[in-house]
Structure 1
C-alpha cells in the first residue's frame, strides 16, 4: 500500500513507523509515522541547532488497497533546542491513554555536562518521555542523562544511532570520532516511585520470562542500584507470585528460571558491593543458588542419559563394521555390469556413532564416563554397607555393572589403546 508524498523542508535524520496496541481487543491499532529533521546552518556556527519531530497518522484507504494510497494525516509537531538522536515508543505498562515515546536529545550548549558526571564519560544530553498525543513532556516519568565517551584530545562523540534493550531499561548509543567508534550504555527513564502505577521490577522480570526475553537489562539496573537484601527478596517474590498465577506454565520451569534470576542478582551485587561483610553474604547466596542449579542440571543430564542406549549402539556398530566385507572385486562371473575386473562389493554407509572412537574429544569423554562408573563400583566394593536400603542399592549396581554384557574394565583397555591411535591420527 503506497504512501502519498510528504513535503519535508529540513534534513531528515530519522524516520520510523510507530505502532501501539489497541486499548481494547476489538479495536484496530494506531499506526504513525515519525520524521525527525535537523535545522542547522553549514556556515554560521552562531545559529543554534534545533530539531523538529513530526508525527503523521497512517490509515488504510476505504477502497481497494491497489487503487489508492494510504491516508496520511499530520499529527503533533514539536521543535527542540539541540539534536534529536533517537525516538522509540514506550511499550511497558501502557494504559488506555498512555501512548509514550522515549526521546534522546543532545544538548549543544553543554549545560547538561555540568549537572551530571560519570567516570570517563560526559553527559551530552537527556533522555525524556513524551506524550505521543501532543509531544509534551510526561511529568510522571524521570529524565535520565545521555552519556558519551570523552577522548584524550578533548573530543566528544555525538551519538548517531541507538538500540533499545529488550525490556526498555537501557539504550545503547553509537558515536564516532575522527579515529574511533564507541558504544555507550545509557539508562532509560522509568516512572517516578511515588506514582501509584509503576511497573515493579519483579513484575518486569516475570513478563520477560513469560515472553522468553533476556532479563539481563533488568538485572543490570538492579545491580547498579544495589538494592537492600529485603528489596531483592521482595522483587523475587513478586516475580515468582506473578509466574505462579499462570496455570499453563510448568512449576519446575518457573522455579528454575527464578533460581537463575536470583543467582544473577546476588552475584552482580557481590561484585559491586564495597562492604566486605555484605559481599560475603551475597557471595554465599549466589553460590547456594549455583549449587542448586548444578544439581538440577546433573539430574536432567542423568535422566536423559538413562533413556539412551549409547554404549549398546556403539558396540553394535563396531560389530557390524567388522563383519562388512572389504571392497575387493567379487569372485563371481555374473557381474551385472560386465566390468573387468569385476565390480567391488559395495561397502555399507559409515555409521556416524563410530566417530566417538576416532575423534580424541569424544573418545576422551567416553573413557572418562566409563572410568567414573568403574571407580564408583570399586568405591562401593571397598566400603561395607549396612542397612537394607544400602544393600539393595549395591545389588542394583551389581546388576547394572557386573552382569552387564559389556565388560567395562576390558572395554576401558580397548579405549585406552584407541586413544593412543587417535592421537597419532591427530598428529600428536
Structure 2
C-alpha cells in the first residue's frame, strides 16, 4: 500500500509537468536489509545463477546467458514436508563448481542443511548428504576450503597465479565451513575413500580443540541470556593457514522461569511474589537485550597430523563500539605484492613469505525514528597479524585492528558490497558499492527508454573508501517499478565482469544483471595497454573456467565488431606471451569463446550480409574444434597401421564429416580462384582488389594450427580407406562398411592422397607466416589482409592441380534427383547429427544440448549407447561427458 504513494506527478501549471513525475523511496523499501537473512544469490563458475524461491523451500537456477532455468531437487526432509520449511537462507557453490550447499530453516523445528554433487550437465544435481540443524543453530555463513589458486592478468599483459588461500586440505574433498547462530564453527567434509559426511564443531566464544573422532558437544547456553549470531563473515587470507571469523550477535532475553524454579527460591508462587521483585527480575534480563555493538573475531586453525584432522579455535579481542544496525559484513583479502628478494636463501624465502592485506568491511543502516529514509555508512578495518617477539613470554601472534576509513552515503543508501577481481592486480585494491538513490525525477517514457537510473555501482579504493577513477555502472529499474524492488543483495560473475542483483520482493523476484565499473573511454586507449576484457578472458582461459560474462559483454550490439576482434586479439597475445607459444590446450578453449561471441552477434544482427559473415566465422571456429576432436578419435582407435574394427561405423561417421569439410574447402578454393583468374592462368591478387581472400573457411589453409589439423585429418582418412580396402570381407557387415567408405572417398571429387602431398609442399610457407598475423586471424576467425599473398598462392595451387575432379566436386547425385527420392540420398542436416560423433542421432537415449554452440549429442549421456562395443571409442566418448567439443557445458533441458 505504500508504493501507491511513491510516484506523485507535479502540478500541471509548471511547464512540462505532465511529462515529468517524481519518485521517492521509503524506509520500508530498505527494511529487508536489516533482516537477519536476506535473499541469497550465488553465481557459479559454470555461469549458473542460484537463487531462493520467494515463497517455497526450493533452490532455483538459471544459466547465464542462455536463460535455461531449472530447479535443484530438494532433500528428503524438505520434499516430504514443504509446508514446514522456509526458502533457503544460505546458498554456497564450491569454486570447482562440483558441490553445492544450502540451508533450509524450518518454521516449527530443526532446519536442514544439504550438500549436492553435480553430474555431467549443469542442470544435473544429486543430493549427496543432508542433516538437521537444531532450531536456533541455523547456518549464517558458509565458505569452502581447498580452492584452486587464481589467475590474474595485469594491464601490461603479465599473468600471475596467486598464492593459495586458507589451510591445506590434503585428505578431504570437499571441505565446507559453516558458522551457525549458536556461535559455533562447523567443518563439514568427506574424507577420501569414505562415503559419509563428517562434521567437526567447536564454539567460537571460548578457546577449544576438537578432534576428528571426538563427538560434538552441542550448543553453548549462557546462564542468564542467549547470544544468537545473525551476521558472520569468513576470511581466507593469501599465504595464511588461519581462518578468520567475524560475527555479530543479538542478546536474546532469558527464557521464562518456570514454577518449580520459583518454588526452590521463594516459598510463594509467582503470582504471590511482591510486584517490585518481579519487575526487578525482568529488568535485569531485558536491559541487556538487543544487538551487540561489538564485532567478535576468532582465529581458527584446521590441522592434520597424519591420522586425523583437528580444529583449533582461539577467540580474539573484539572490535568495540563498531556501530549499531549492522546489515553487511565482508572480509576482503588482497594478495601479496609481487616483490622478488634474490638475496634470500630458499629457506629464508619460505619463512618470510609475504602476506596480503586483510580488510573487514562492515555496513550499517540507521533508520532513526522511521520518519525518513535511513542513513547508511561503510566502515573499513585493517586486520594485521603481528608475530611474537623474541622477548615475549608467549609464542602466540597478536592481532592489530586499525580503522582505515568511514564513508557515509547520505542521502543515498548503500545496499550491497562486492569485491573486485576482474581488473587483475589493479582491481584487488578496490571494492564495489551498490548505492541506491532515495528520490528522483522521471521524464516522459519513450519507445527507446523503458528504464530509469536509480543508483550506481561505484568502485571504491580500499585505502580510504574514496571513489576510484573507474566509470560507475548504472543501476536500472523499469519505469513501472521505479523506486521499488531495490537491489539488496549481489553476486559477482565468475570473472567479475558482471554483477547479479536480487530484490527482496516476495513475487516476482527482480533479478538484474549489471556491468561492473569499467575504465573511462579516454583511459581505454592511453591509460591501459591491454583492454580489461582481454585480460579477464586470458585469465579465464588459464584457469579453465567459463568466460560467459566476458563473451556476453563482447556480444552486445553496442560493442563495435572491430573492438571485439581487437579484444580477442589482445587475449590470444597474452596466452602466447605467457606460454612461449600457445599450446593446443589453450587454443581450443579460446576458439570456443570466440565462437560464442560471433554466434551471439550473428543472432542479434539484422543485416543479412553481416549475419552470413558472422555465421560463417563462428561455424569455422566450431569446425576447427571438431577437426581436432576427430583427429583425437582416430588416434585413440589406431594401433600402428591398423584401426579398431569394433569402431568401424563410428570412424566412418567421422570420415564422412571430414570428407564433407574437405569438399567445402576445395569448392571455396575453386570459386575464389575463378573470381581472380583472367583467362586460363591464375593471377595474384592486385593491391586494390575488391574480392579479397577473406572467406573464413580458408583458415584451414592459412592458419598453421588449422592447417596442421586439416592435413592430419586427410592422412587419417586416407590411411583408414586403405586399411579397410586391404581387408578381406569376412561378413556382410564388414563388406558394407568397406564399400561405404571406399565409395565415400572415391566419389568425393578429391584425390585425398594427392591432396595430402600437395599440402606438404605448403607447410613451410604456412609456418613462415608472421605470428601476430596468425593470432589476429584466429581472433577474427577469418584470414587477414597480410595473409593474402600466401593464400593466393595456396588457392591457385589447389584449384589448378590435378587433385580435384571439379564436376564431381560441385555436382552430387542427390542434386540430380527431385521429389521424395532426393531426401533419401541427400546428406542429413546438422540438427539431425551428433555434434561430437558426427553420426546420426538415433533417439534411443535423450540427447544433451550444448549451451555454447547449440549442438546436440548422445555421447555425453551417462547411459552407454547401444551397439557400441569398442572400448577405445567409449574412452574417447568419455572425454566429452562434461564438455562439448567447443568447450561448452551440457544441459539436459530441451531446446
Name the TM tier (shorter chain): 0.5 to 0.7
Which residue pairs with 2:318 in the alignment? Answer: 5
CA drift at 1:94: 5.5
CA drift at 1:242: 1.5
Q: Which structure is higher in helix share?
A: 1
1:159 aligned counterpart, secondary structure: coil
Aligned partners of 1:394, 1:96: CA distance in 2, in Å? 56
Deviates more, 1:273-282 or 1:12-21: 273-282
CA distance change for structure 1 residues 113 and 3 in 2, over 3 Å: closer, same or farther?
farther
CA distance change for structure 1 residues 52 and 391 in 2, over 3 Å: closer, same or farther?
closer
CA distance change for structure 1 residues 305 and 371 in 2, over 3 Å: closer, same or farther?
closer
CA distance change for structure 1 residues 147 and 303 in 2, over 3 Å: closer, same or farther?
farther
CA contact (8 A) 1:149 1:156 kept: no
CA contact (8 A) 2:729 2:735 kept: no
Deviates more, 1:246-255 or 1:277-286: 246-255
CA contact (8 A) 1:85 1:160 kept: yes
Once the two structures are superposed, what CA deviation does each residue of 1:83-110 show, in whole Å capped at 9, x if it has no partner? 2122223234466897221111111224
Which residue pairs with 1:125 in the alignment? Answer: 455
CA drift at 1:162: 0.9
Aligned partners of 1:36, 1:69: CA distance in 2, in Å? 26
CA distance change for structure 1 residues 229 and 161 in 2, over 3 Å: closer, same or farther?
closer
2:625 aligned counterpart, secondary structure: helix
Which residue pairs with 2:277 in the alignment? Answer: none
Once the two structures are superposed, what CA deviation does each residue of 1:256-303 show, in whole Å capped at 9, x if it has no partner? 122212211111111222333322221221122222222222222232
CA drift at 1:71: 1.8
1:277 alignment partner, one of 596, 609, 615: 609
Aligned partners of 1:132, 1:251: CA distance in 2, in Å? 38
**Residue 488 of structure 2 is aligned to residue 164 of structure 1:** no
Which residue pairs with 2:631 in the alignment? Answer: 299
Which residue pairs with 2:354 in the alignment? Answer: 27
CA distance change for structure 1 residues 34 and 209 in 2, over 3 Å: closer, same or farther?
same
Once the two structures are superposed, what CA deviation does each residue of 1:200-257 show, in whole Å capped at 9, x if it has no partner? 1323322221122321111111112543333333222222222112336752223212
CA contact (8 A) 1:49 1:108 kept: no
**Residue 467 of structure 2 is aligned to residue 137 of structure 1:** yes
CA distance change for structure 1 residues 59 and 151 in 2, over 3 Å: closer, same or farther?
same
2:399 alignment partner, one of 63, 70, 89: 70
Question: Normalised by the size of structure 1, how large is the TM-score?
Answer: 0.68
CA distance change for structure 1 residues 246 and 23 in 2, over 3 Å: closer, same or farther?
closer
Q: Which structure is higher in strand share?
A: 2
CA contact (8 A) 2:335 2:428 kept: no
Which residue pairs with 1:356 in the alignment? Answer: none
Aligned partners of 2:356, 2:401: CA distance in 1, in Å? 15
**Residue 381 of structure 2 is aligned to residue 56 of structure 1:** yes
2:407 aligned counterpart, secondary structure: strand
Could you say which structure has the greater relative contact order, defined with CA pairs below 8 angstroms and 6 or more residues apart? 2
Aligned partners of 1:281, 1:137: CA distance in 2, in Å? 43
CA contact (8 A) 1:130 1:136 kept: yes
Which residue pairs with 2:186 in the alignment? Answer: none
2:616 aligned counterpart, secondary structure: helix
Which residue pairs with 1:358 in the alignment? Answer: none
CA distance change for structure 1 residues 151 and 9 in 2, over 3 Å: closer, same or farther?
same
CA contact (8 A) 2:454 2:483 kept: no
1:8 aligned counterpart, secondary structure: coil
2:602 aligned counterpart, secondary structure: helix
Aligned partners of 2:728, 2:654: CA distance in 1, in Å? 8
CA distance change for structure 1 residues 80 and 260 in 2, over 3 Å: closer, same or farther?
same
1:181 aligned counterpart, secondary structure: coil
1:261 alignment partner, one of 593, 609, 614: 593
CA contact (8 A) 1:57 1:73 kept: yes
Aligned partners of 1:148, 1:124: CA distance in 2, in Å? 7
CA drift at 1:143: 1.1
Aligned partners of 1:370, 1:409: CA distance in 2, in Å? 15
Aligned partners of 2:541, 2:596: CA distance in 1, in Å? 14
CA distance change for structure 1 residues 265 and 254 in 2, over 3 Å: closer, same or farther?
same
Aligned partners of 1:294, 1:123: CA distance in 2, in Å? 45
2:637 aligned counterpart, secondary structure: helix
1:244 aligned counterpart, secondary structure: helix
Deviates more, 1:160-169 or 1:59-68: 59-68
CA drift at 1:62: 3.4
**Residue 718 of structure 2 is aligned to residue 397 of structure 1:** no
Long gaps (5+) in structure 2: 1-298, 300-314, 340-352, 658-716, 738-843, 845-864, 867-895
CA drift at 1:68: 6.8
**Residue 568 of structure 2 is aligned to residue 240 of structure 1:** no
Aligned partners of 2:595, 2:630: CA distance in 1, in Å? 17
Which residue pairs with 2:366 in the alignment? Answer: 39
Deviates more, 1:70-79 or 1:104-113: 104-113
CA distance change for structure 1 residues 160 and 398 in 2, over 3 Å: closer, same or farther?
same
- RMSD of the alignment, in Å? 4.1
CA contact (8 A) 1:52 1:79 kept: yes
Deviates more, 1:154-163 or 1:170-179: 154-163
Deviates more, 1:366-375 or 1:30-39: 366-375
Once the two structures are superposed, what CA deviation does each residue of 1:104-130 show, in whole Å capped at 9, x if it has no partner? 111122459999998765533110111
CA distance change for structure 1 residues 55 and 292 in 2, over 3 Å: closer, same or farther?
same
Aligned partners of 2:428, 2:323: CA distance in 1, in Å? 31
1:34 aligned counterpart, secondary structure: strand
Where do 1:66-105 residues align within 5 Å? 70-81=399-410, 82-93=412-423, 99-105=429-435
Which residue pairs with 1:202 in the alignment? Answer: 534
CA distance change for structure 1 residues 119 and 272 in 2, over 3 Å: closer, same or farther?
farther
CA distance change for structure 1 residues 89 and 241 in 2, over 3 Å: closer, same or farther?
same
CA distance change for structure 1 residues 109 and 286 in 2, over 3 Å: closer, same or farther?
same
CA distance change for structure 1 residues 57 and 283 in 2, over 3 Å: closer, same or farther?
same
CA contact (8 A) 2:538 2:572 kept: yes
Which residue pairs with 1:325 in the alignment? Answer: none
1:146 alignment partner, one of 475, 499, 503: 475
Aligned partners of 2:535, 2:591: CA distance in 1, in Å? 16
Aligned partners of 2:474, 2:519: CA distance in 1, in Å? 15
CA contact (8 A) 1:98 1:131 kept: no
Once the two structures are superposed, what CA deviation does each residue of 1:369-409 show, in whole Å capped at 9, x if it has no partner? 49969999xxxxxxxxxxxxx998754223357369x9746
Long gaps (5+) in structure 1: 313-365, 377-389, 412-418, 424-428
Aligned partners of 1:141, 1:114: CA distance in 2, in Å? 30
